[in-house]
Structure 1
Amino acid sequence: MSLVKYEILTKVAEVASFTKAAEVLGLTQSAVSHAVSSLEKEFGFALIHRSRTGVTLTSEGYTMLRAMWQVLDAQELLQQEAAHILGVTRGKVRIGVISSISSNWMPEIIRIMDHQFPGIQVELREGDYYEIEQWLLSGEIEAGFLNGQKSAQYQFTELQQDPLLCIVSAKSPLYAKTEVDIADLEDMPFIMTSYKGTNDVKVLLEQYHVKPNIRFELSEEVGILSMISHHLGISILPQLVIHNLPSTLKAIPLKQGGYRTIGIAMKHHASPVTKKFAEILSAWLKEQNSVL
């Protein structure tokens, strides 16, 4: 069976459209449709459910897709190992990133990768911690950034402890403080970060038995900062998230401390290209921390 057909089905499943898949792959829509139909004929059952709203995988299609990921990963690893033997670093690595990492770390990391290893193609997929872990476990990515989760199914390397800071507006009674006692947040209007997986802020508040008055739960930090700017509450956010904090807001350290642990999770027996990405990332962070 042709691996090209596996790649086509993988892209169709990712973008949920024959047309979009064809555009990304540089093929005609009929070629994409023919490849999927050919796979269905070879397997003897439907892989795709077609409707006016788009295409979705059947349950059998999703089962086969996971097996195809393993085949494509094995092919990629084979090619990378051959290149490694020849002394050439070449291949593709898919990385799961959270928004603060994609905006703060990835531009420079990719610039370095492009300069030093032009044969390595880096693909980024943005999500929350839960999504990244699921992508890693299912084989959709080779590595991803997590906040301390450990599992026997992958290796986790701690990279940095990102301080958690209290974000307030000028009208907040906490604005004049140089540090905030977590106990002072009890019953205060609060905008909570919302995402699947371990929530570092909720863990911190629970650790000190503090229950703020949660008015809103938002997944986007931009929305949280906007709410605070309009004096609708305060929040606790990681330092990396507030790299460009509006001048109308203030980030105040917590008396008790508190941080999120950022690390890179990789499959056991990671490919040479994945290991190279991790090496570049670790070296860059070490250099950044030595400057600070």
Structure 2
Amino acid sequence: MRILDMMTLVALARHRHFGRTALELNTTQPAISARLASLEQEFGCKLILRGNTGFGLTPEGEKVLKTFEVVLRQIESLKHELADDPMPILEVIRVGAIDTISSTWLTHFVEATHAAFPHLKIELTVESTKNLVQGMHDGAYDMIFALDPAIGEGFRSFVSCVFQMSWAGSPRLINPDKVYSVEELSQLPIITFPKGTPPYRMVAPYFQDERVLASKLTSSNSLYSIINLLIDGFGVGTIPTVTIHREIKMGLLHALNVSKRFPPMPIIATYQSSTHNDLIRSVVEQSRASAKAYCATVEPSMAWVD
């Protein structure tokens, strides 16, 4: 069994794609397939399943992967030791997050993770929930923070934190002393995320429950754009209260008093449990600690950890 074969299986488990694995290892897809076939012949069992249901490791494949990761780390460590090089190997964790997290506790998470793992490289991407979930399935991320979980073999998910949602608008548009009914809200221009996104799926039933539909609807795929549109008086919208806390204190926005509360928004963390096992578990725990630490700095009604 060659070291190259071990590296191939580890890369396959990370990318979940033969083409991207071949690109990383500077070879061809047939070569990757041949190395996998050689490993499966040597172990006498299937290590990877491919089909209409997707790409995943078999239970035997997960056991082999864990051993290969340990062996490869030990080999690299031995190389550094023999070369009298104390520098540890640089490991990479690819993290994706929606902009609600990037504007709240993501910075704390990155800084705390770097402090705990000085030689860990974090590749950070801010994207929509739809693209983050798809990226997890494509093997582009090790961990994401989104509004929907990525569901599949080797994925684990949990609620990272929960954000309270508030209807907000410019003082030029709304009366901060008025209590707005659902019907009255529907008469105002509404700013929200595009149709089909998780935030939109929360907004639409809010009105449909009362048999009232918004008369004017403007959508944007950017939280920052929505906040700017609210400040400029283009409409009212419901967004996490913590993301506009500063604008409310400055008087640029007011939280509307409403007769019907909007449901809170849970942030779902999903990670790949089949790769970087020890490291990813440590990063997951750091993410939990960062979310908890952030929630402790704001009003309990705005953000919390279950």
Q: Is TM > 0.5 for Structure 1 vs Structure 2?
A: yes
Q: Give percent identity, aligned residues only.
A: 14
Could you tell me whether the CA contact under 8 Å between 1:227 and 1:233 is conserved in 2?
yes
Q: CA deviation at 1:209?
A: 3.9
Q: Which residue of 1 aligns with 2:216?
A: 214
Q: Give 2:157's aligned amino acid.
A: F
Does structure 1 residue 117 correspond to structure 2 residue 123?
Answer: no
Cα gap change, 1:205/1:89 in structure 2, threshold over 3 Å: closer, same or farther? farther
Shift of 1:40: 8.4
Q: Residues 213-292 of structure 1: matches in 2 within 5 Å?
A: 213-245=215-247, 247-252=251-256, 254-257=258-261, 258-269=263-274, 271-292=277-298
Partner-residue secondary structure (3-state), 1:242 = helix
- Deviation at 1:211? 1.3
Q: Quote the Cα distance in structure 1 between the aligned partners of 2:223 and 2:177.
A: 23
Residue 150 of structure 1: how far off its partner (Å): 6.5
Q: 1:90 to 1:255 in 2, by over 3 A?
A: farther
Q: Cα distance 1:117–1:253, how it changes in 2: closer, same or farther (>3 A)?
A: farther
The 2-side partners of 1:161 and 1:170 are apart by 27
Matches within 5 A, 1:1-292: 39=28, 78=69, 82=73, 91-149=91-149, 151-153=151-153, 154-177=155-178, 180-194=180-194, 197-199=197-199, 200-245=202-247, 247-252=251-256, 254-257=258-261, 258-269=263-274, 271-292=277-298
Indicate if the aligned counterparts of 2:183 and 2:212 stay in contact, CA closer than 8 A.
yes
Cα distance between partner residues in 2 of 1:281 and 1:208: 38
* Shift in Å, 1:90: 6.6
Distance apart, 1:261 and its partner CA: 0.9
- Whole-Å Cα distance in 1 between the matches of residues 147 and 241 of structure 2? 14
Counterpart-to-counterpart distance in 1, 2:95 and 2:197: 18
Cα distance in 2, alignment partners of residues 95 and 103 from structure 1: 15
Further displaced range: 153-162 or 202-211:
202-211
Report if aligned partners of 1:94, 1:124 keep a CA contact under 8 Å in 2: yes
Q: Distance in 2 between matches of 1:159 and 1:230?
A: 32
Alpha-carbon distance in structure 2 between the residues aligned to 1:112 and 1:39: 39
The CA RMSD over aligned residues, in Å, is 4.1
Secondary structure in structure 2 of the residue aligned to 1:244? helix
* Matched position secondary structure for 1:277: helix
Shift of 1:152: 4.7
| Inter-CA distance 192–103: structure 2 relative to 1 (3 Å threshold) | closer
Which residue identity lines up with residue 268 of structure 2 in the other structure? G
- Corresponding residue SS for 2:246: coil
- Distance in 2 of aligned mates of 1:273 and 1:107: 19
1:26-47 deviation per Cα after TM superposition (whole angstroms, max 9, x unaligned): xxxxxx9xx97x648979xxxx
Q: TM-score, length-normalised on structure 1?
A: 0.66
1:129·1:196 contact (CA, 8 Å) conserved in 2? Answer: no
Rounded Cα–Cα distance in structure 1 between residues aligned with 2:167 and 2:69: 48
Deviations 1:180-208 (A, max 9, x none): 43342123211222275423333444444
Given that residues 180 and 258 in structure 2 are in contact (C-alpha distance below 8 angstroms), is that contact kept between their aligned partners in structure 1?
Answer: yes
Match of 1:59 in 2: none
Letter in 2 for 1:267: Q
Could you say which structure has the larger radius of gyration? 2
- Looking at structure 1, the residues matched to 112 and 198 of structure 2 have their Cα atoms a distance apart, in angstroms, of 31
Relative distance call for 1:253 and 1:90 in structure 2 (3 A) is farther
Q: Distance in 1 between matches of 2:89 and 2:228?
A: 44
* Structure 2 residue matching 1:176: 3-state secondary structure: coil
- 1:113/1:280 contact within 8 Å kept: yes
Return the alpha-carbon distance in structure 2 between the equivalents of residues 203 and 136 of structure 1: 28
Scaled by the length of structure 2, the TM-score of the pair is 0.63
Moved over 6 A (4+): 1-4, 40-43
Please give the alpha-carbon distance, in whole angstroms, between the structure 2 residues aligned to 1:253 and 1:156: 34
Q: For the Cα contact (< 8 Å) 2:133–2:148, is it kept in 1?
A: no
